[in-house]
Amino acid sequence: MSSDDAPRRPHAVLIPQPAQGHVTPMLHLAKALHAKGFHITYVNSEYNHRRLLRSRGPDSLAGADGFCFEAVPDGLPPSDNDDVTQDIAALCLSTTEHSAAPFRDLLARLNARPGSRAPAVSCVIADGVMSFAQRVAEEMGILALVFWTTSACGFMGYLHFAELIRRGYVPLKDESDLTNGYLDTAIDWIPGMPGMRLKDIPSFIRTTDRDDVMLNFDGGEAQNARKARGVILNTYDALEQGVVDALRREFPRVYTVGPLAAFANAARGGELDAIGGNLWKEDTSCLRWLDTQRPGSVVYVNFGSITVMTPAQLTEFAWGLAGCGRPFLWIIRPDLVSGENAMLPEEFVTDTKEGGVLASWCPQELVLSHPSVGLFLTHCGWNSTLESICSGVPMLCWPFFAEQPTNCRYVCAKWGIGMEIDSDVRREEVARLVREAMDDESGKARRVKAMVWKEKAKEAVEEGGSSRKNLDRLVEFLLAGNDDFQAESA
């Protein structure tokens, strides 16, 4: 047998949606599969490939043994600024239209490398909103699964866009429905999600246009998951048990393997340690400042990679933090304010220089797990929410869009570990809620519950835990399922 014929090592190709929030969990999954013996090809967009090289250094995408990086174009025209989050709607439509052919060429090239040490591609794992990759893989006779990087409840919300339209809840009849109480309408019929309101459904339903791009795109991509050979979710069973059970009644294979960061971290100590997914350069000096603060005293503020706000909202948050009387660490991306650079009032910067630290980006997992951090003011993106849960840190929630309102509802009403700030943010409310969360008896109760969910997350990834079992099941299926799929396709 020649050396080219020898390896039966499975080869997984993973392709994340290029928006920042999707990149890191897919990378964690890639590392977890690599630790299980898989050869990995990780496919960034060309735009993100360039950003990673800038933020992490020229050798950051050199890869490692059995772990390679590739890139495909997203089809969008060149940008004046190659270091900002791209328009989500435009990105979704463009990748759907323009990325399929380059991805097909990439798979063909990976399978045709003469004398290569890489085995033939055995499976493709595509982000849930990159169904073109799922379709291309199936057409080429390659096993395809989808990874929805949302919460399970967020995914279930997207799955029911079509039913909300059919029942006449969506689109809204008039713009006034956004403010007249209509969004408080009870939605009590989604399986596994009792006590929901229309405002708790992913925000793309908040439109008067039946042809709205994101309403149709995300609703359609969720339905496409039904064609995949399996659905992977970055959550753990105990956290979203009712929703996960309902999804398992609808899909033959649902793999809840979260928190994936725990599996990726468990594989540390090798050459993959240098591989990261942050698209902005991380400022680690804030960790040294946290070392000087009292345990549980700091408010950590980060609205993620996509949220944008008005200059007025930025000002209200600033003076709310100044007035809360607590030290804070605030991450302010350059593009946090829509259409312009985020500029804080000079008086605010002067008044808070002793008690506040501002940074452009940071290693969030390390910040949240630092003993000085006692509260997380967040947009409730799923990565941030899960990282906060895994660190036992309660949350103040200001959801911006997509499934963030769904996550917020679960954080506040289901898990009891957070409070919501009104979208029309006011400095007095920010200051009051911070003090309540950190000092009142209700705040102490939320901290206790947060620690309970942290322990449950640890249990899920330990030997015998639900997520560890599900990761093993996923690996078994990727190995056996490919052979079955090849037999079906023959």
Residues carrying an active site annotation: 22, 127
Task: Judge contact between 214 and 89, C-beta under 8 A.
Answer: yes
Nearest-10 Cα torsion for 134, 135, 140, 145: 20
Strand pairing category for 196-197 and 186-187: antiparallel
Residue type, 190: I
Q: First and final CA of the chain: distance in angstroms?
A: 24
Say which residues have a Cβ less than 8 Å from residue 69's Cβ, sequence separation at least 6.
41, 42, 43, 44, 49, 61, 63
The Cα-based distances of 130 to 71, 95, 122, 406 in angstroms read 14, 8, 18, 22
Residue keyed to tokens 């029942």: 167
Say which residues have a Cβ less than 8 Å from residue 362's Cβ, sequence separation at least 6.
282, 283, 284, 286, 287, 302, 329, 331
Residue type, 102: P
Three-point CA angle 153, 157, 163, nearest 5° = 145
